[in-house]
Amino acid sequence: MLIQFSFKNFRSFKDEAILDLTATTCTEFPEHVRASGGEKVLPVAAIFGANASGKSNVYNAFEYMTQYVLRSFSFGDEDIESDAKIKQDPFLFDIESVDKVSVFEVYFTIPGDDKQKVYNYGFSMNRQGIEEEWLNIKARTVREYRPIFYRNTAHEELDLSGIPKASQENIKISLEPQTLIVSLGAKLKIEKCKLIRDWFGYNSLSNFADPIESLLRYRMMPKGFVEDKNVQNKVVNFLGAFDDSIKGFSITKHEKEEEKEKRKVYSINTLHVKKGSNKSVEISLGEESAGTQKMFALYPELQSVLTKGAVLFVDELNARLHPLLMRNILLLFLNPEINTNNAQLIFTTHDLLPMSNRLLRRDEIWFAEKDIDGASELYSLIDFKGETGKAVRKDVNYIKQYLLGNYGAIPLLKDMDFSSEK
């Protein structure tokens, strides 16, 4: 489980932002709390905020860290074009931040680890490459972390004492300024590095704020969907939670030639029962509602993370979904009888329905707010203190108080004037 994610000097976040999924002492919904690595961890974090507040940049920061871990082993290759490398993306609205390092760090446990070890991994980087990188580990029953490796290029320090000696020399020879040890080590089949790399790979990220990525996801099919009727029936049951008119699928295979090569292409139709008869009517999946298409696109990831106990991070989960349907998705993760592997859902949204004391704990509700200098801040409802210095009570109407501006993170609106006169 993801215990904590933090980052600094990335896009609109100048100072450190911490998304902490450890449960606080608040008393509502104790069944939400899961035990992992000696910590009490939450399965859901909902991030609210105005447009351009920076909430999507929390998603972007996690995606950035994930992609760097998965891809950086190749960044030292001379055949890799510089445009393909992941470059630093610091806060740009002051002189100092542009030249400072960006920092990314996670604390997590690995699904299926009976010993529930906690891993602490992170790195800092500048325009030239990696400045610092560290990996620490601790047993569930102890407080102290044990270092696996530490690297500081500014001080020419490289400690690989937690890595097998036979592999240390290979890392020293192959390590490039832009390459992460954990990424290179995984490529070299070093087990401790592979565990970290694979954890990032197991997680799923969906950016429904990006129309191109959304289109690609709408064209993806669940694993085994074409060949296995059982998989198709599971999707029918899943979609039936909000649209029981779909009774099945009809799949047609085509062959498409591209650059003298043939590629398999599938067209998918949904089957509906024709009223007054036993005959079915076929409708192209592309002609179904936008919400149905999005749920079809979400199904593979929901199935995957719930099965593996991974993290699903979604930007704009509410896009094209009815609020009650989004609520049902949250309940998949909040219900311990369904979410038996402790999967987690982190999402940004403009829909306020989840901001309810009947659905989420105060430490599961987060806000992103941008100040007058363009810098974003991330904070939770449980940590928010009003003008009186008192914490938010669990029995108040969170939505009403939020819309009144009592929690911040709302747009500052002015009258819209389309007239040409001034």
Q: Residue 345 sits in a domain of what CATH number?
A: 3.40.50
Same domain, yes or no: 245 and 387: no
In a domain, 302, yes or no: no
Same domain, yes or no: 56 and 191: yes
Average pLDDT over residues 239-246: 89
Containing structural domain, residue 194: 2-203+310-403
pLDDT for 259: 65
In a domain, 417, yes or no: no
pLDDT for 400: 97
Q: State the total domains in the chain.
A: 2
pLDDT bracket for residue 264 (50, 70, 90) = confident
In a domain, 344, yes or no: yes
For 9, which DSSP code? S
Same domain, yes or no: 31 and 164: yes
- Max distance between CA atoms of the chain, in angstroms, equals 78
Q: What does the alpha-carbon distance between residue 375 and residue 393 come to, in Å, rounded to a whole number?
A: 28
Are residues 186 and 180 in contact, defined by beta-carbon separation less than 8 angstroms? no
Same domain, yes or no: 155 and 276: no
Average pLDDT over residues 98-123: 97
Q: pLDDT tens-digit profile of 274-287?
A: 888 888 899 999 89
Q: What is the CA radius of gyration of the chain?
A: 24
Same domain, yes or no: 190 and 121: yes
**pLDDT at residue 414 tops 90:** no
Tell me if the pTM is above 0.75: yes
pLDDT for 215: 75
Show which of 231, 256, 289 is a domain's final residue. 289
Closest CA to 1 of 364, 308, 309: 309
Same domain, yes or no: 257 and 360: no
What percent of the chain has a predicted confidence (pLDDT) above 90? 79
Are residues 194 and 185 in contact, defined by beta-carbon separation less than 8 angstroms? yes
- What is the torsional sign of CA 399, 405, 409, 414? positive
Same domain, yes or no: 173 and 57: yes
pLDDT mean across residues, the chain:
93
pLDDT bracket for residue 420 (50, 70, 90) = low
Are residues 42 and 22 in contact, defined by beta-carbon separation less than 8 angstroms? yes
Average pLDDT over residues 145-149: 98
In a domain, 294, yes or no: no
pLDDT for 26: 96
Same domain, yes or no: 270 and 314: no
- What is the torsional sign of CA 360, 51, 206, 133? negative
Same domain, yes or no: 282 and 316: no
Closest CA to 29 of 390, 400, 358, 406: 358
Torsion of CA 63, 203, 239, 342, to 10 degrees: -130
Same domain, yes or no: 131 and 254: no
